[in-house]
Chain A
């Protein structure tokens, strides 16, 4: 499962350049310091994950110790299961939509707060606040707000936009986008805080120099600010894409995957298949697909953004 990387250990025969300095000892801390963390990590993550990969090729039902090895059948079944294919599509769609919208919104908030407006400190604290609240709690709140008689529709009616009233979570065309909107509402401030940290690490002199050189506002953003924000982009995109792919709590509380299967993601389907249908083997095969998507997305993104960061600096 793990590609053992070709570790470039220092040549054991070559003398350590520091050790030759007389009177200085370089004792590395003992390896057993890592033991407690390693044991717990193996018990909770490594071993169960490895067993998960094993079960993905079986017809295990979660209880019966006698299960059969069925090769790739769980995976071939998936390709002919419209619910599974739809869930994979929704997962990708949600991840991409959240990544673009949440970070675009967060960047605008950060640029707005990183000015001399008087409310900047209050706004920063206030706009970030939703990000610390329990997602399942905000999702239940929004389930009511987005209902047919909920506050969102009431507000639209109150400002004369009656024709905009919708069944936000009950309409299969809209439900997925309502979930995306709730997540952007909650975590836009999170992206803002990370962009803001990036913006504040840009030295003022650079801006002033660019202003003196006659760079306009947009030009200054594009050629001065944007490249210096590259590390913030890396972190933000990584967080939102992985968070979007694994999304469970908000879907569970807002729609339960419905109406029908209109908002099922891989995570909600794993839960349903395992705990309501007892199809553990199939469910774990879905988790393997999820793992592959996360691994491809994060390594791909890592290399892409690392190249950009290098090009920018």
Chain B
């Protein structure tokens, strides 16, 4: 069962072939991004005289640097706020058995089922009336609320399996509840914090619909919105568009390959939580 046989080798070849098919779009992406617009040969043929001009032009004309900074600000800000408020909220929700605790937990879990489309338009109106449209800070406020149900769900599941002895000891030793949470409970939540961090960061970074609505027409754009605007502007100048797509993908893939173990475990972690 555990020997490497000819059939294992056949499987190996088949899997590598599947991976090659899956990687094919990425090859075309990079291949065309390196190509001068005058080169009209087949997109699958390797580019003969590669150039970086498209990248320079896309970077300057697409405002991608600013978009990158905005996306980073929004992602980091939202993730910090949502992890802080959700872990804090999950603590009493997992521990208390009173009716208010169960009721509040169910209310928050309702948020897992409600599709955001339902809240989008009324919230758009509220944001407009409060003058919050077009601001990256408003997006942080927005994601901090939107990601609460999922994050609380992860934390409560984890907390319920965690013994109470340590926090009880801390309380007996004179800690306040907040100190017990901050110095005893929260450090023990580290595995689920990593999962929640990865999943929230990826979904905030990649979100397109919300910033499309709330930031449309403003100078403060996140990466997905800047890319959509860029495609709209350079409609069929695909070499340039592909260079912009590569620029937007590189930071994500760099982080992914650097931290692949934690990231993959984070995604798979919902399973054990």
- CB-based contact B43/A246 at 8 Å: no
In the assembled complex, B161 has its CB within 8 A of some CB on chain A: no
Chain A minimum-CB-distance residue to B146: A44
- CB-based contact B25/A151 at 8 Å: yes
In the assembled complex, A27 has its CB within 8 A of some CB on chain B: yes
Contact of B23 among A126, A144, A267, A291 (CB under 8 A): A126
State which size class the interface on A falls in. 35 or more
- CB-based contact A41/B238 at 8 Å: no
Complex CA distance for A134 and B201, rounded to whole angstroms:
12
Contact pattern, A 93-112, Cβ under 8 Å of B = 1, otherwise 0: 00000000000000001001
Given A24-B168, A154-B44; A52-B121 close (CB under 8 Å):
yes
In the assembled complex, A245 has its CB within 8 A of some CB on chain B: yes
- A residues sitting closer than 8 Å to B (CB atoms) are 2, 4-5, 7, 9-10, 24-31, 33-38, 40-49, 51-53, 55, 62, 109, 112-113, 115-119, 123-138, 140-142, 144-145, 149-151, 154-155, 158, 185, 188-190, 193-194, 196-198, 207-208, 211, 231-232, 235, 245-246, 248-249, 252-253, 266-267, 270-271, 274-275, 280, 283-284, 286-288, 290-291, 294-295, 298-299
- CB-based contact A117/B11 at 8 Å: yes
Can you name 28 A-B residue pairings with CB atoms under 8 Å? A7-B102, A9-B102, A28-B95, A30-B92, A33-B178, A35-B89, A40-B144, A41-B148, A43-B145, A44-B141, A44-B142, A45-B116, A117-B8, A118-B4, A134-B223, A135-B206, A136-B224, A137-B227, A140-B241, A141-B25, A141-B28, A151-B24, A155-B24, A235-B270, A248-B209, A249-B208, A253-B231, A287-B118
- CB-based contact B8/A115 at 8 Å: yes
- CB-based contact B22/A130 at 8 Å: yes
In the assembled complex, B152 has its CB within 8 A of some CB on chain A: yes
Complex CA distance for A142 and B15, rounded to whole angstroms:
23
Complex CA distance for A294 and B18, rounded to whole angstroms:
33
Contact of B119 among A25, A52, A113, A123 (CB under 8 A): A52
Q: Which 7 A-B pairs have the closest CB atoms?
A: A44-B145, A48-B119, A37-B89, A40-B145, A197-B268, A34-B89, A48-B123
Given A7-B103, A129-B253, A140-B227; A53-B118 close (CB under 8 Å):
yes
Contact of A127 among B19, B121, B181, B227 (CB under 8 A): B19
In the assembled complex, B107 has its CB within 8 A of some CB on chain A: yes
CB A19 to nearest CB in B, in angstroms, measures 12
Apart from A29-B177, A29-B180, A128-B267, what 16 extra A-B contacts exist at CB < 8 Å?
A: A9-B97, A9-B102, A26-B164, A40-B145, A53-B118, A62-B121, A109-B15, A115-B11, A119-B12, A131-B267, A134-B248, A145-B43, A151-B43, A154-B42, A253-B231, A270-B117
CB-defined contacts of B42 to chain A, threshold 8 Å: 154, 158
Complex CA distance for A112 and B14, rounded to whole angstroms:
9
- CB-based contact B115/A291 at 8 Å: yes
Interface residues of B in 230-273 (CB under 8 A from A): 231, 238, 241-242, 245, 248-249, 252-253, 256-257, 260, 263-264, 267-268, 270-272
- CB-based contact B121/A253 at 8 Å: no
- CB-based contact A45/B256 at 8 Å: no
CB B167 to nearest CB in A, in angstroms, measures 8
In the assembled complex, B72 has its CB within 8 A of some CB on chain A: no
Chain B minimum-CB-distance residue to A239: B270
Chain A minimum-CB-distance residue to B223: A134
- CB-based contact A197/B271 at 8 Å: yes
CB-defined contacts of A28 to chain B, threshold 8 Å: 92, 95-98
Complex CA distance for A109 and B21, rounded to whole angstroms:
13
Contact of B268 among A31, A194, A288 (CB under 8 A): A194
In the assembled complex, B51 has its CB within 8 A of some CB on chain A: no
Chain B minimum-CB-distance residue to A245: B115
Contact of A246 among B91, B110, B117, B152 (CB under 8 A): B117
Contact of B114 among A38, A45, A119 (CB under 8 A): A45
- CB-based contact B202/A132 at 8 Å: yes
Interface residues of B in 1-54 (CB under 8 A from A): 1-2, 4, 8, 11-12, 14-16, 18-19, 22-25, 28-29, 32, 42-44
Q: Is the interface of A mostly helix, strand, loop or mixed?
A: helix
Complex CA distance for A146 and B34, rounded to whole angstroms:
20
- CB-based contact A37/B22 at 8 Å: no
In the assembled complex, B57 has its CB within 8 A of some CB on chain A: no
CB B113 to nearest CB in A, in angstroms, measures 5
CB-defined contacts of A290 to chain B, threshold 8 Å: 115, 117-118
- CB-based contact A25/B172 at 8 Å: yes
CB A136 to nearest CB in B, in angstroms, measures 4
Chain B minimum-CB-distance residue to A40: B145
Given A130-B22, A137-B224; A150-B43 close (CB under 8 Å):
yes
Contact of B111 among A45, A115, A138, A193 (CB under 8 A): A45
Complex CA distance for A19 and B154, rounded to whole angstroms:
28
Complex CA distance for A181 and B95, rounded to whole angstroms:
44
Complex CA distance for A62 and B213, rounded to whole angstroms:
14
Interface residues of B in 103-129 (CB under 8 A from A): 103-104, 106-108, 110-111, 113-123, 125-126
Chain A minimum-CB-distance residue to B261: A125
- CB-based contact A298/B111 at 8 Å: no
Interface residues of B in 180-222 (CB under 8 A from A): 180-181, 202, 205-206, 208-209, 213
